[in-house]
Amino acid sequence: MLSRLTKRIFDRQSAELRKLRRIVHQINCRYHELSSSSDEQLQSLSRQLRSQAGEDRSSPHVKFEVFALAKEAVRRISGKTLHDVQLMGGWAMTERNIAEMATGEGKTVTSILPIYWFALQGHGVHLITANEYLAARDYAEMKPIFEFLGIRVGLNLAGSSVKAKQEAYQKDVTYGVCSEFGFDYLRDHLARKPEERVQRSLAYALIDEIDSILIDEARTPLIIAGKTKASPDLYYVCARFVERLQENRDYEVDRELNQVTFTDRGIQTIETVFMIDNLYHLENTNVYHYLLQSLRAKALMKRDVDYIVKDEKVAIIDAFTGRILQGRQYNDGLQQAIEAKEDVPLSPENVTHAVITIQKYFSLYTYLTGMTGTIRSEAEEIQNLFGLDIVAIPTHKPIQRSDEEDVFFMTRQEKYSEIMREVKKRHAIGQPVLIGTTSIEQSEEVASHLQALGLPYQLLNAKEEEKEASIISAAGLKGAITIATNMAGRGTDIVLGPGVAELGGLHVIGTERHESRRIDNQLRGRSGRQGDPGSSCFYISMEDELIERFASEEARQWRSTIQWRKIGTREPALMRWIERVQKRIEQQNHEIRTFVYVLDSIVHDQRVSFYEHRKEVVDGQDIQYFLRGHLVRYVQQWMETHAPREQSPDEWDISVLSRESGLRPNLFASDKKLANGLELAQIITSYFDAKLEDLFSLENRSQCCKKWRSVYLQILDKAWMRHLEQLELLKLGIQFRKYGKQDPVQAYKEDAWKLYGQMEETVRKKVYDAVLKERLHKGRQFSGKVG
């Protein structure tokens, strides 16, 4: 069964590659013809293509022309001749595929081809990179080529002004980091005036390192948060208190699931110290929450692994990229709990104003594609979520890097001694070495070992971000020793210095396996680029963090069954085992992502419809019409409760009706005998119609629209924020609450829609109250005037 599936994929791939080869032949024929044209002729052709591409998107001939012209432009400006495999990768991306191209194959310049084709369609292309360093680097490198072709390029940086961002988005191509595009989308939907928005419609997105973004980053949603002041005392008190608690006596830690729980003994201590009867009682929820977060801060969050403290601030380190997650904070009070533990000033707590998952953000684009060296293992997820296929493009030259088998050690100390021996040996002949680590702490540990041996090195981690470019540019030179966290694991191009190829190229040492095999392969991929020679090897000890967290039991067994040697053991069974552990973690992470995604999909429909409505309001659509809609629905709903159809008017309690509606009793006790509640509803509605007509009368219409737009937006935004808060609680709830036989996702869906309905009711009520309270203009009187 499996082999049939593999065969089908293989057949599809080979057919796809055959097709791409034919296409490449056509492109190259045209490219050769273009080589004799002058620059002006090529530029005029580009202008002509701009008009054609928009009209005739399906014609392959226009596309051949576009690709041939781009290839010629790359040659004239950068001096590089695009390889056939690059043309293949570029073309695959224009056909809703992800191009899987090995590390170092030149994806950056390949991307010019599909970007140019998309840009000619005239709707704007977003080129998404995994970090700002790559965005700025690719922007600067690609700009001259695009400009030659008459394509305008912009860079969207975090922290730029609204005007600078608008300009960047108006360009044909906009480079930037994934989270910044997502945040701009959210901010645009919080804007109170159209001119505060920065994005155009979301048309084309090409994601570089697409697995990093759609898979690794996708566990944490993007959140725009407002601030409320944290209660510092309680955080500091809790932080000091949990310092005294002991693992296994007062609390337990599940490192695999990343959870902490208090033991009965721990709870007793808390109840005694905080002088409370029952920690789980509703009135103590707050204390419990603070204590739990403080305990998580103490037991699960490690300085220089999960976060760093810089300038008295706590910044999150992304485990996949080794970089600071700019602009992001731990939520739910964990940030403040860590700050209290580190004894730095507390940042204000977050109130969510807007939130979206990365997967959902990218599903908003009309056209999505991307490229990476490492995505095959996640093909199914990508296909299910985005309907994208993966085309594996062959390498230009055979890969010459030799990936050695992992070496295993009993202890960390033995591992580091062997790594040092290896580094020393290679350094002695001048071969450059890159040592990859999984955390800042580990990178510093390696540095101290090198220091002790008197070996020169460069250290690249999130604390030294500023030096990134210069460290990387020297990493391939003779004799260089570079220690780096995963920061150097993606996109970084280490070019070999003179004479280095003869020494065997760059040697990569992995000091620990990462949770995901893709990240390890990215690290290996810093070497052996463009057919260069190179080598890589991972060193693993039974005391590694990954093993202690996820496979400590199994490691115990291996300790007694293997013939260990101080200089390391190469054992196929251990290799297979470590891969199995990684696969298990990948599966766990996949489940977390799917859960986050499924829940966000439910909210997504609500978000889209809320944002659409909000946009209409901001864009100046008839505000009176919206208000009236709410009033009519509110009155109908209200009547159903207080004067239901089946009741005769004699049964109405006029004083209750008057009190509940805020209208004068004489409106209900009208001279006319009313037949039923419906007639009463009509009377009330016409009262409000008359009131709205007065408020929005011609002489003060524009002023009034402005004022009511602002009032209405405030009502909408408050209600939405409250809704998000409720959804967050609901989400927490479903992890703890037992739904009996009910599927938790289904239960979440039903409750989420109920909450949405409640939010709409709140909006109606607030609009009703606001209009009711509004004073009429002088000289006007209606029978039901507010009492």
Ligand X SMILES: Nc1ncnc2c1ncn2[C@@H]1O[C@H](COP(=O)(O)OP(=O)(O)OP(=O)(O)O)[C@@H](O)[C@H]1O
Q: Does 493 carry a binding-site annotation?
A: yes
What is the number of the residue whose Cβ is closest to ligand X?
106
Distance CA 178, CA 358 (A): 8
Asked if residues 53 and 120 have their Cβ atoms less than 8 Å apart, the reply is yes
Residues at the site binding ligand X, with contacts judged by CB under 6 A: 80-83, 86, 101, 103-109, 373, 491, 493, 495, 525, 529-530
Neighbour order of strands in the sheet with 173-177: 153-156, 173-177, 125-129, 204-208, 367-372, 97-100, 389-392
Select 322 or 525, whichever has its Cβ closest to ligand X: 525
Distance CA 512, CA 515 (A): 10
Q: Does 454 carry a binding-site annotation?
A: no
Least distance to ligand X, CB of residue 13, Å: 19
Q: Is 499 left (phi over 0), alpha (psi -120 to 50) or beta?
A: left
| Residues 6 or more apart whose Cβ sits within 8 Å of residue 495 | 473, 476
Least distance to ligand X, CB of residue 490, Å: 6
Asked if residues 120 and 129 have their Cβ atoms less than 8 Å apart, the reply is no
Tokens read off for 729: 């609680």
Least distance to ligand X, CB of residue 284, Å: 51
Select 141 or 579, whichever has its Cβ closest to ligand X: 141
Select 142 or 602, whichever has its Cβ closest to ligand X: 142
Q: Does 106 carry a binding-site annotation?
A: yes
Least distance to ligand X, CB of residue 540, Å: 23
Asked if residues 475 and 458 have their Cβ atoms less than 8 Å apart, the reply is yes
Single-letter amino acid code for the residue at 629: G
Select 333 or 525, whichever has its Cβ closest to ligand X: 525
Distance CA 43, CA 471 (A): 38
CA distances 604 to 14, 188, 609, 610, Å, are 38, 16, 9, 10
Asked if residues 505 and 532 have their Cβ atoms less than 8 Å apart, the reply is yes
Distance CA 717, CA 700 (A): 26
Select 23 or 771, whichever has its Cβ closest to ligand X: 23
Select 184 or 211, whichever has its Cβ closest to ligand X: 211
Bridge partners, residue 509, by sequence: 435, 537
Least distance to ligand X, CB of residue 106, Å: 2
Least distance to ligand X, CB of residue 103, Å: 4
Single-letter amino acid code for the residue at 753: W
Q: Would you tell me how many other CB atoms lie within 10 Å of the CB of residue 748? A: 22
Q: Does 86 carry a binding-site annotation?
A: yes
Least distance to ligand X, CB of residue 143, Å: 15
Distance CA 677, CA 684 (A): 10
Least distance to ligand X, CB of residue 234, Å: 46
Tokens read off for 348: 């204000």
Select 516 or 606, whichever has its Cβ closest to ligand X: 516
Report helix, strand or coil for 362.
helix
Q: Is 553 exposed, middle or buried (0-12, 13-18, 19+ CB in 10 A)?
A: exposed
Least distance to ligand X, CB of residue 592, Å: 26
Select 86 or 352, whichever has its Cβ closest to ligand X: 86
Q: Does 424 carry a binding-site annotation?
A: no
Select 350 or 486, whichever has its Cβ closest to ligand X: 486
Q: Which residues sit in the known binding site for ATP?
A: 86, 104-108, 493
Q: Which residues sit in the known binding site?
A: 86, 104-108, 493
